[in-house]
Structure 1
């Protein structure tokens, strides 16, 4: 059954609707994976009190909410992780890592540091910018950090020159901004080793998220599903953007009211706009539906 709803006010998400659309066994499991930007956050990148309260209510009811985001641990911590309890486990860096709330790496499929060092050198040569997550830190070229400060004000950015052994590290995700055609050629030369997605920032300028070959959000979701002892298809996945398409297809897909049309077409249900606390309303209705089914 597929319901497409485009207006929060016209189609309130109720427990009755939840029970009609989502199979009872999935409702009872109450395992949810949510995108960060514009799904968990509002459009202005803040998190509403209602969303925080609803996420905590899921845990109190015996369920689980995990982030499933392209962000590495440090930016995710700066943006949304503080609203989650200590027991939470998250799919980060576009599916390249599974990490605890406190930053412990449970699983990962990363890019070899030697290759990252080569790409970083190319970005500097070709006039691009870069940043990458490593553990609890996010590294940039200190003289070009303004790009990342613009989108993550207040995030502490470490200087890549402070990693003397970069070639020996494993890097979950590399972000290249101020992208140009020459850098795209370089990436194409490494297509057997890397996966990447072209994205648009808040000024509609291209940047690229780069992970190890074959890594998508579903890669990390599969590890979360294994940990929870259930198939990926029984994880409720909620997102809004093109980079959420795979996880919406793999899980029981839910689109935000502010989602791109392509995502709404694939989702089994479209809920409210993030600025209208669409995620919070959905989670609370889901909890009540579960209570009624118990």
Structure 2
């Protein structure tokens, strides 16, 4: 009889800064551990700020066996069927606000995620790095030429500048919020949108409420997700606020963090021996 040590468990991993290392690769150690997890009866998926297409670039050979959460919780996407199962759009009319932003922050880069893909409206070094990482088409487009509805707006510059942008945007919209997905990337999206909310929708849609959920992340856009999970894990390079809210802290994303998480699951969850904020060895 086949052993199923991971049956009844759902593992949800952020990608950039968590599953994917600084070389934009998933390490062989992480891949092998995830295959062992799924072969042992576990369910695995990703929750990422990337589009489904952008996520797929790093998921080849990985045993994702339920739909993914993409665009920071704006979509639940079936990667096998290439189908959107659920989505959440920006409701506010923010065209004027986006057009005004470069006047106040000329260094700011801007990308708009919409149903047809991603369009760059203002480029800079951070936008270009992001474009190459996720294979976004080059060139820019005017804000008013990008078809709606929109999922999210990604703003990019140095961290200090983005904090000023975040302060500037506060209170200027009714149904939008900002959240850092990386140090140099600030996302503007529907106030109800988050990876955590999408995870709840996914669990409900697939009738997975009896499963124990382990969620792993590194930045503030992962906060709701690790709070909703039964076990929230912050990788070693995670934002300090995320670490404070996590149940566990794992290794740096360049040190096979997911491999360590799965080892910890194997050693501890069968006996339900959970220790708050324990460092994974």
Given the two structures, how large is their TM-score scaled by the length of structure 2? 0.76
Contact 1:272 1:278 in 2 (8 A): yes
Which residue, 229, 240, 246 being the options, matches 2:207? 229
Which residue of structure 1 aligns with residue 172 of structure 2?
Answer: 190
Deviates more, 1:87-96 or 1:123-132: 123-132
Contact 2:182 2:219 in 1 (8 A): no
- Give me the whole-angstrom Cα distance separating, in 1, the residues matched to 2:118 and 2:269: 39
After TM superposition, list the pairs within 5 Å mapping 1:1-294 onto structure 2: 28-78=7-57, 80-85=58-63, 87-102=65-80, 103-112=82-91, 115-126=93-104, 127=106, 128-135=108-115, 137-141=117-121, 144=123, 146-153=125-132, 155-157=135-137, 159=139, 161=141, 166-167=146-147, 169-178=148-157, 184=166, 187-198=169-180, 201=183, 206-231=184-209, 234-251=212-229, 252-284=231-263, 286=265
- Give me the whole-angstrom Cα distance separating, in 1, the residues matched to 2:61 and 2:97: 34
SS at match of 2:16: helix
Contact 1:61 1:287 in 2 (8 A): no
Contact 2:8 2:210 in 1 (8 A): no
By how many angstroms is 1:32 displaced?
1.0
Bigger proportion of residues as helix: 1
1:86-120 superposed Cα distances (whole Å, 9 cap, x missing partner)? 644111122121111154211111114x8354444
The structure-2 alpha-carbon separation of the partners of 1:75 and 1:232, relative to structure 1 and needing over 3 Å to count, comes to: farther
**Which consecutive unaligned segments of at least 5 residues does structure 2 have?**
273-281
Contact 2:47 2:68 in 1 (8 A): yes
- Give me the whole-angstrom Cα distance separating, in 1, the residues matched to 2:130 and 2:83: 25
SS at match of 1:286: helix
Deviates more, 1:279-288 or 1:234-243: 279-288
Given the two structures, how large is their TM-score scaled by the length of structure 1? 0.73
- Give me the whole-angstrom Cα distance separating, in 1, the residues matched to 2:17 and 2:163: 29
The structure-2 alpha-carbon separation of the partners of 1:274 and 1:230, relative to structure 1 and needing over 3 Å to count, comes to: same
Deviates more, 1:281-290 or 1:39-48: 281-290
Which residue of structure 2 aligns with residue 10 of structure 1?
Answer: none
1:7-34 superposed Cα distances (whole Å, 9 cap, x missing partner)? xxxxxxxxxxxxxxxxxxx953121111
The structure-2 alpha-carbon separation of the partners of 1:207 and 1:270, relative to structure 1 and needing over 3 Å to count, comes to: closer
The structure-2 alpha-carbon separation of the partners of 1:49 and 1:109, relative to structure 1 and needing over 3 Å to count, comes to: same
- RMSD after superposition: 3.5
SS at match of 2:170: helix
- Give me the whole-angstrom Cα distance separating, in 2, the residues matched to 1:209 and 1:123: 14
The structure-2 alpha-carbon separation of the partners of 1:119 and 1:47, relative to structure 1 and needing over 3 Å to count, comes to: farther
Contact 2:214 2:233 in 1 (8 A): yes
1:51-95 superposed Cα distances (whole Å, 9 cap, x missing partner)? 1222233333332211112233343334x3334346441111221
- Give me the whole-angstrom Cα distance separating, in 2, the residues matched to 1:163 and 1:110: 16
The number of residue pairs the alignment matches comes to 260
**Which consecutive unaligned segments of at least 5 residues does structure 1 have?**
1-25
